Amino acid sequence: MVARVIAKELRANPNLVLGLATGGTMESVYKLLVEMHRTEGLDFSLCRTFNLDEYVGLPPDNEGSYRFYMNHHLFHHVNIDLRNTHVPDGMASDLAASCRQYEETIVKMGGIDLQLLGIGRDGHIGFNEPLSALRSRTRAKALSPATIAQNVRYFDGDRSRMPKRALTMGVGTILDSKRCIMLAIGEEKADVIAKAVEGPITGMISASALQLHSHCTIVVDGDASLKLKEVDYYRWIFDNEPEWQEFHKPHA
Ligand code: GLP
C-alpha cells in the first residue's frame, strides 16, 4: 500500500520531492517500486529525493552506508537521475555546515512533498533518538544503545564496525514535509507504535511528534498493531474515508 501511495503521488506530480527512509522495513517498498517501474513504467526521471539520515564516517561504497543501501535497493534499478538524489554526507569535513546546506537544498527544491518513514524500537524517526528536540533540524546525533543493538546486524553483528553517530534530518525537518507516511511491520514494533500513536507527544518518543503533522498516515501490519487500543476505530476510518477506497483491493 505504501508503494501504491508513492506511485500515485509520483504520477500526479513527476517532479515530486520524495523523502526516503532506510532499514529492513523499507526493502519491500523499494522492491515494489522497482517492479512498478519495470511493469507499469513508473517514471522517476524528474523525481528528487532526500534521505532521512546517514552514518558518520562511512563512505558511499561501504555496504553499511545508507547511500549504498539506496543505490542497491532503488536508485540503480529505476530511471532516477543520481544527481537528483540526496543523502546527508557523513564524510563531510564540516558536518554542521553540510547539515545546514542539506536543509537549504530541501528548501531550494520547494520542500519535501512526501516523506517516507520507518520507526526504530526506541521511537526514533530518522535517527532522532529519545529527547531529540521536536523542532530540531538536520544535525549529527549520537546513536542510542537501543539503536546500536537494533542495527548492528547490518554490520555482521560487529559493534566495532558500526558508527556511533549519524547525520539525521530533525523532527522539525520531518514535520515540515507536506505529507508523511510511516510504515511499521512486525511484533517488535507493537509497543513503540502504540506509544507513538496513542501515547502523549513526548521527546522521549520522537515518532509521537507526528501527531502534530496535518497529513500523516501510519501503516502497520497485524503484528505491529497488536498493542493499539483503538484498532476498530482506525479500520472504520480506513473503510469510510474516500481517500482510501482504491486501496481496499487485497494486493494494494
Ligand atoms: C534505521 C533508520 C530509521 C528506520 C529504522 C527502522 O534506524 N535510521 O530511519 O526507521 O532503521 O529499521 P527497520 O526497518 O530495519 O526496523
What was the pLDDT predicted at 246?
87
What was the pLDDT predicted at 250?
60
251 catalytic? Reply is: no
Spacing, Cα 23 to ligand 1 middle (Å): 4
73 catalytic? Reply is: no
Q: What is the mean pLDDT of residues 155-180?
A: 97
* Candidate list 37, 73, 86, 124, residue with the active-site label: 124
- Report which of residues 248 and 97 the model is more confident about: 97
Sequential DSSP letters for 14-60: TT-EEEE--SHHHHHHHHHHHHHHHHH----TT-EEEESEEETT--T
Ligand 1 pocket, CB under 6 A: 21-25, 52-53, 118-120, 126-127, 147, 151
Q: How confident is the model at residue 247 (pLDDT cuts 50, 70, 90)?
A: confident
251, pLDDT greater than 70: no
Q: What is the mean pLDDT of residues 241-246?
A: 89
Q: What is the mean pLDDT of residues 62-66?
A: 96
The set of cell numbers assigned to 83 is: 544527481
The set of cell numbers assigned to 95 is: 558536518
pLDDT digits over 39-50, tens only? 999 999 999 999
What was the pLDDT predicted at 218?
97
> Lowest-confidence range among 100-114, 201-215, 236-250?
236-250
pLDDT digits over 66-117, tens only? 999 999 999 999 999 999 999 999 999 999 999 999 999 999 999 999 999 9
124 catalytic? Reply is: yes
Spacing, Cα 240 to ligand 1 middle (Å): 31
* Candidate list 37, 53, 89, 113, residue with the active-site label: 53
34, pLDDT greater than 50: yes
Instruction: Please identify, by atom number, the ligand 1 atom nearest to the C-alpha of residue 188.
Output: 16
Mean model confidence pLDDT for the chain: 96
Close Cβ partners of 42 (under 8 Å, ≥ 6 residues apart): 7, 10, 11, 33, 36, 78
194, pLDDT greater than 60: yes
Packing angle, helices 66-73 and 24-40, rounded to 10: 30
pTM, full prediction = 0.96
What was the pLDDT predicted at 252?
47
Whole-angstrom Cα Rg for the chain:
17
Rounded Cα distance, 6 and 34, in Å? 12
Q: What is the mean pLDDT of residues 175-188?
A: 98
